[in-house]
Amino acid sequence: MAEMSDVFFVDGMRTPFGRAGEKGMYWNTRADDLAVKAIIGLMERNPEVPKDRIDDVAIAATSQTGDQGLTLGRSAAILAGLPMTVPGFAIDRMCAGAMTSVTTMAGSIGFGMYDLAIAGGVEHMGRHPIGSNADPNPRFVAEKMVDPGALNMGVTAERLHDRFPQLTKERADRFGMLSQQKAQAAYDAGKIQPDLVTVAIKNADGAWGLATEDEGRRPETTMEGLASLKTPFRPHGRVTAGTSSPLTDGATMGLLASGDAVKQLGLAPKMRLVSFAFAGVEPEIMGIGPIPSTEKALQKAGLTIDDIGLFELNEAFAVQVISLLDHFGVADDDPRVNQWGGAIALGHPLAASGVRLMIQLAAQFAERPDVRYGLTAMCVGLGQGGSVVWENPHYTGKKKK
C-alpha cells in the first residue's frame, strides 16, 4: 500500500509570452512546439532528474484543436525527447488549465502513485482564438441557465463593476498601470528572465530571430492614457484594454516531485504544496471565482488570509483581482500582491497562466525567507475559481532586514 506523500514544486520554466495575431512573434510557431521548448528547458535545467523516471506529463490547452490538440501531454513528451515509456495526457479547465495540470498531478503524487511529473499548459491564441470551434449548447441560453453575456469574459468583468460599485474604474486603471510598472521594474532588475526559455522564431519575411522576453509590456502607461481608452465591451463601460490581459501566445511547465524523489535525487524544491481548491460561481460574474476557492483552500490548510505573505493573482481583468483583495481586506497596492506585475503586463495565454503564477511565486520565495506561505489564484470562464496555497522551503521565521 502506497503511503501519502508531500508534493513539491521543484522548478518551473516558460516561454516568453507573445502577442497573439499576425503581428505577434509566434504567428509562425506551432503551439505544440512552444510546449516542447518549455519541457526541454525545464529538463535541461534539472539534469539530475532521470527522464525515464517521469511518471506522467499533463498539459492543458483551452482550444484543443489542430496543433494544440492530439493529446498534448503525450505528443509533446515524445517531441521533447522524453523516453517512449513516459505517458501523457491533455487537460482543460479554460484559464485554470495549467493550475489543474499541477493539482491533478499533485493528487497522484500525494496518493503515492507518482514520484515525478511534468505539469503545464499552452495557448496559441493567435492560431486558436478563445471560443474558436466551440459550439455552446443552445440550452444554456434557451433555458436561462446562463445569460448570453456569460460567454464573453469582458462582459463578465463589466458586471463586477456593476455589482460592486466600490470597484471603480479609477481603481482598476491604477491597478493596471501599476502592473505595467512592476513588470518593467522586475525586468530591469533581472527577476523574470532566468525562468524564460529562449525560442527560435521566424518572421513574415522568413528571417529567423529569438524570442527572449515578454512582448506585450507597456511600461509607459499613465492614468491619463488609461482614462481615454475605449470600452469595447459596453458603451461608456469601465473595462478597457489597459485593465484587461491581452490576447497572448505562450507555454509554461512545472516539475513536481514526491518527498521520496526529492530525497533520492537530492533535489532542492522551490515550494511545497499545502492545499488547493476549485469553486463554482455564477458564470455572469466569473471573476469572483477565486474568492470561494481561496476560502476553501485556506480552510483546508488551517490558515487565514493573514498567513499569506505573497500573492500571485492572475490579472485576467484588474476588476477581478481587486474584487478578491476587497473581499479579504487587502489594499489594492499591498506590496505582497503581484510584486513583479501580472497578466495585464505580461500576458495571459489562457491555459498556461497558472504555472506562470507558480514560477513567479517560487522565485519570490527564494528571496523572502521571512515569508512562510504564498497563494496562487485565478478566475476561470463559465464561473469558476482556482487557488493553491504553497509553503516556502526557505522559510526561517526571521524578518527580512
Q: Do the domain assignments include residue 89?
A: yes
Reference 122, options 249, 1, 222; nearest CA is 249
Q: Do the domain assignments include residue 97?
A: yes
Q: Do the domain assignments include residue 234?
A: no
Q: Do the domain assignments include residue 180?
A: no
Query: Which are the contacts of 11, defined by CB distance < 8 A and separation ≥ 6?
Result: 42, 45, 46, 254, 255, 270, 362
Cα 237 to Cα 241: distance, rounded to the nearest angstrom? 12
Show the beta-strand stretches assigned E in 298-372.
Answer: 308-313
Q: Which residue has the cell 492530439?
A: 70
Task: Provide the residue range defining the domain that includes 379.
Answer: 7-128+246-390
**Which domain CATH number covers 63?**
3.40.47.10
Cα-Cα-Cα-Cα torsion 173, 17, 10, 254, nearest 10 degrees, comes to: 110
- Under 8 Å between Cβ of 59 and 33: no
Q: Do the domain assignments include residue 86?
A: yes
Amino acid 400: pLDDT: 60
Query: Which are the contacts of 370, defined by CB distance < 8 A and separation ≥ 6?
Result: 309, 395, 396, 397, 398, 399, 400
Residue 102: strand, helix, or coil: helix
The residues assigned a catalytic role are 95, 348, 379
- Under 8 Å between Cβ of 376 and 270: no
CA dihedral sign, ordered 237, 238, 242, 243? negative
Give the up-direction half-sphere exposure of residue 117: CA atoms within 13 A in the CB hemisphere. 31
Residue 46 corresponds to which cell in the numbers above?
534539472
Cα 259 to Cα 5: distance, rounded to the nearest angstrom? 6
Q: Do the domain assignments include residue 175?
A: no
Reference 118, options 55, 68, 70, 71; nearest CA is 55
Residue 25 corresponds to which cell in the numbers above?
512573434
Q: Do the domain assignments include residue 193?
A: no
Amino acid 140: pLDDT: 85
Cα 238 to Cα 74: distance, rounded to the nearest angstrom? 42
* Averaged pLDDT in 10-residue chunks for the chain of 401 residues: 91 98 95 98 98 98 93 98 98 97 98 98 94 84 85 92 96 98 98 98 90 96 96 95 97 98 98 98 95 98 98 98 98 98 98 98 98 98 96 87 54
Show the beta-strand stretches assigned E in 245-397.
Answer: 248-258, 271-280, 308-313, 373-380, 384-391
- Under 8 Å between Cβ of 334 and 353: no
Cα 253 to Cα 351: distance, rounded to the nearest angstrom? 11
Q: Do the domain assignments include residue 46?
A: yes
247-256 burial, b at 16+ Cβ within 10 Å, e below that, comes to bbbbbbbbbb
Beta bridge partners of 384: 280, 380
Query: Which are the contacts of 237, defined by CB distance < 8 A and separation ≥ 6?
Result: 158, 161, 231
Structural domains of the chain, count:
1
- Give how far Cα 98 sits from Cα of 121, 229, 250, 348, 380, Å: 5, 31, 12, 12, 12
Give the up-direction half-sphere exposure of residue 142: CA atoms within 13 A in the CB hemisphere. 4
Does this model's pTM top 0.95? My answer is yes
Residue 81: strand, helix, or coil: coil
